[in-house]
Amino acid sequence: MRLSVEDATKEIYANHKVILKTNSGKFRAGDVLRIQSDNNVCGATVHTVENGDEKILIDKYLCDNLGIKLGDVADVEKINPKYADIVEITVPEEFLMEGVEKNAINIIKNRLSGKPVYKGNKEAIVIKKEVRLIQINETVPPGIVISVNSTKFRSVAAKRVSKAEGLPQGDIEVPLIPTPKTSFSDIGGLENVKQELRENIVDGIKNPELSGIYDILSKTILLHGPPGTGKTLLAEAVATESGAKLILTGTETYSKWLGESEERIRSKFSKAIENVPCILFFDEIDAIAHVRDGRITDTVVTQIIKAMDYVKNTDGIFIIAATNRIDRIDPAIRRRFDSTIEVPLPNKKTRDTIFDVHLRNKPIEKDVTTKKLASLTGDCSGSDIETICKKAIRKAMHEKGNVNMAHFEEAIKEHTHTTREPASVMYG
Ligand SMILES: Nc1ncnc2c1ncn2[C@@H]1O[C@H](COP(=O)(O)OP(=O)(O)OP(=O)(O)O)[C@@H](O)[C@H]1O
Ligand SMILES: [Mg+2]
């Protein structure tokens, strides 16, 4: 039966916008119909039958699915659809950003219960007064099927949805950091920190089949400790060791965020979703996630919280954040990290290994031992050690010889004099 699309706003169904009306006497309220336009097919139910008038309400999303507008025609036919065993959907990114993915599936299932669904169509679902578009990717069995209580819903990577038409996107360009060269073996000491990062993030990325147990792994890790202790280095090494992409957010980004925070953060996450597995690294997170003191940081903090909730429910995205001012971080953000790990100043043994790392393959005289160097550099961070090694090597180069202990002693003296304060004093 060929029916034309009429304006429903003139009737009581104001929010439906369009209506298919017939007085065929063939349909009853609740009948399931197959509506076919020139472009597409979808399912709908007969809404009411009043005084012989059969009204099939269709909303504008259904019209979009069919590619029809007011005045167009569509063929309508009563069908006897099967119940759906499985419905696979993609859920809009921003819906997930609210940290309700697990609930989301249930909410969507409830809203679609009793309704006919068809592969490829988008369904509008009102949540918190906002319309969200859910895409039906696949159904078992195929064809127009009715979603019922026993139907299993599964969602696919939000990645596909982020490309879906009509969804707002963060479209600020976000660069991926080229895979860093740093590996765990370039980091002296910090064995327990490396182990935590390896067990949780590296193994999580390398074994995606473990995704079912991500719930018990830490997907968001906060590293804190004095400056120059290797926090940034650790995040880079995790990316290298896991082969995951690294998206960096640091102070330079934060300043821009103050103007366009939502957009920035959304863009980071869109990029992360497109590049799973991916590590989002928030360097010096205290610069942006500090205790709320005004409207602007407030929005940013809220966004970061949303983002973190989102990550928890999305496979393949991990967050590492670093700070040397943990006390300044908003408590709500702090609480959201699955684990918080301290990256301390190196002890003597660790300083020894850090010297070892920085003097690998360098032309060193026999009198130089890393053990001796470690005992001369109490209070020094890994970054201090790097600087000392560079200075000593430069001195040797000037003299066109190998690096000897005298070069180191001078370098240590110079460095500890030029550094305003040792890292241990600045921390906290
Ligand atoms: N454990 C370490 N092993 C080897 N090198 C280290 C270690 N810790 C720091 N370094 C050296 O110090 C440099 C700076 O370290 P990094 O940037 O990772 O410190 P950070 O903890 O992020 O400091 P900040 O808090 O100032 O950002 C590194 O590039 C590296 O050369
Ligand atoms: Mg750093």
- Residues counted in the chain: 428
**Cα separation of 412 and 131, whole Å?**
64
The answer to whether the beta carbons of residues 223 and 234 sit under 8 Å apart is yes
Q: What is the residue range of 358's domain?
A: 348-426
Nearest CA to ligand 1 atom 12: 383
Q: Is 352 in the pocket of ligand 1 (CB under 6 A)?
A: no
Tokens 């679902």 correspond to: 125
Q: Which ligand is nearest to the CA of 223?
A: 1
Query: What string of pLDDT tens digits covers the 428 residues of the chain?
Result: 777 676 665 555 444 556 676 666 677 777 888 988 888 888 888 776 666 667 777 777 777 888 887 778 888 888 999 999 989 887 766 655 544 555 667 778 888 888 899 998 888 777 665 667 788 988 999 999 999 888 888 876 444 333 333 323 444 555 566 666 789 999 999 999 999 999 888 988 887 666 555 455 788 999 999 999 999 999 999 999 998 888 887 776 665 555 555 666 767 777 777 777 889 898 888 877 666 555 555 667 777 787 787 777 777 789 999 999 998 888 888 998 989 999 999 999 999 999 999 999 888 998 899 999 999 999 899 999 999 999 999 999 998 889 999 999 999 999 887 654 544 444 43
pLDDT of residue 157: 46
Q: Is 188 exposed, middle or buried (0-12, 13-18, 19+ CB in 10 A)?
A: buried
Q: Is 233 in the pocket of ligand 1 (CB under 6 A)?
A: yes
Q: Is 229 in the pocket of ligand 1 (CB under 6 A)?
A: yes
DSSP 231: H
List C-alpha distances in Å: 405 to 92, 148, 258, 393: 62, 78, 49, 11
The answer to whether the beta carbons of residues 410 and 422 sit under 8 Å apart is no
42 and 146, same domain (yes or no) = no
The tally of CA atoms less than 13 A away on the side-chain side of residue 39 is 12
**Cα separation of 404 and 389, whole Å?**
11
169 falls within a domain: no
pLDDT of residue 96: 57
116 and 67, same domain (yes or no) = no
CA of 300 to the centre of ligand 1 (A): 27
Q: Is 316 in the pocket of ligand 1 (CB under 6 A)?
A: no
Dihedral sign, CA of 184, 245, 264, 99?
negative
Cβ neighbour number for residue 229 with a 10 Å cutoff: 29
Helix ranges, 250-343 (H)? 251-274, 295-312, 331-336
**Cα separation of 155 and 305, whole Å?**
23
- Closest-lying ligand 1 atom to the alpha carbon of residue 186: 4
268 and 298, same domain (yes or no) = yes
Distance, CA of 48 to chain centre: 44
303, 260, 249, 61: which is closest to 167 by C-alpha? 61
CA of 250 to the centre of ligand 2 (A): 9
267 and 202, same domain (yes or no) = yes
236 sits in which H/E element: helix 231-242
User: At residue 283, what is the residue type?
Assistant: D
pLDDT of residue 102: 57
Last residue of a domain, one of 43, 59, 80: 80
Q: Is 387 in the pocket of ligand 1 (CB under 6 A)?
A: no
Question: Would you call 374 helix, strand, or coil by DSSP?
Answer: helix
Q: Which ligand is nearest to the CA of 185?
A: 1
333, 180, 174, 170: which is closest to 253 by C-alpha? 174
Q: Is 46 in the pocket of ligand 1 (CB under 6 A)?
A: no
User: At residue 391, what is the residue type?
Assistant: K
CA of 119 to the centre of ligand 2 (A): 48
Q: Is 321 exposed, middle or buried (0-12, 13-18, 19+ CB in 10 A)?
A: buried
CA of 193 to the centre of ligand 1 (A): 14
Tokens 């921003």 correspond to: 94
Q: Is 124 in the pocket of ligand 1 (CB under 6 A)?
A: no
146 and 101, same domain (yes or no) = yes
One-character DSSP codes across 84-128? PSEEEEE--HHHHHTT-HHHHHHHHHHHHTT-EE-TT-EEEEEET
Distance, CA of 78 to chain centre: 44
Using only C-alpha atoms, what is the Rg of the chain? 30
329 and 293, same domain (yes or no) = yes
pLDDT of residue 158: 45
The answer to whether the beta carbons of residues 156 and 102 sit under 8 Å apart is no
CA of 210 to the centre of ligand 1 (A): 31
Q: What is the CATH number of the domain that holds 413?
A: 1.10.8.60
**Cα separation of 59 and 301, whole Å?**
37
Pocket test for ligand 1, best of 190, 233, 246 (most atoms within 8 A of CB): 233
311 falls within a domain: yes
Q: Is 341 in the pocket of ligand 1 (CB under 6 A)?
A: no
330 and 361, same domain (yes or no) = no
**Cα separation of 11 and 48, whole Å?**
13
159, 104, 178, 156: which is closest to 270 by C-alpha? 159
Q: What's the pTM?
A: 0.61
62 and 137, same domain (yes or no) = no
213 and 298, same domain (yes or no) = yes
110 falls within a domain: yes
* Number of structural domains the chain divides into: 4
Question: Tokens standing for 164?
Answer: 């879906």
42 and 126, same domain (yes or no) = no
Question: Would you call 232 helix, strand, or coil by DSSP?
Answer: helix
**Cα separation of 169 and 270, whole Å?**
7
175 falls within a domain: no
Q: Is 422 in the pocket of ligand 1 (CB under 6 A)?
A: no
Q: Is 49 exposed, middle or buried (0-12, 13-18, 19+ CB in 10 A)?
A: middle
Last residue of a domain, one of 80, 103, 121: 80
pLDDT of residue 390: 93
226 and 306, same domain (yes or no) = yes
176 falls within a domain: no
Q: Is 323 in the pocket of ligand 1 (CB under 6 A)?
A: no
Q: Is 427 in the pocket of ligand 1 (CB under 6 A)?
A: no
330 and 386, same domain (yes or no) = no
174 falls within a domain: no
pLDDT of residue 286: 83
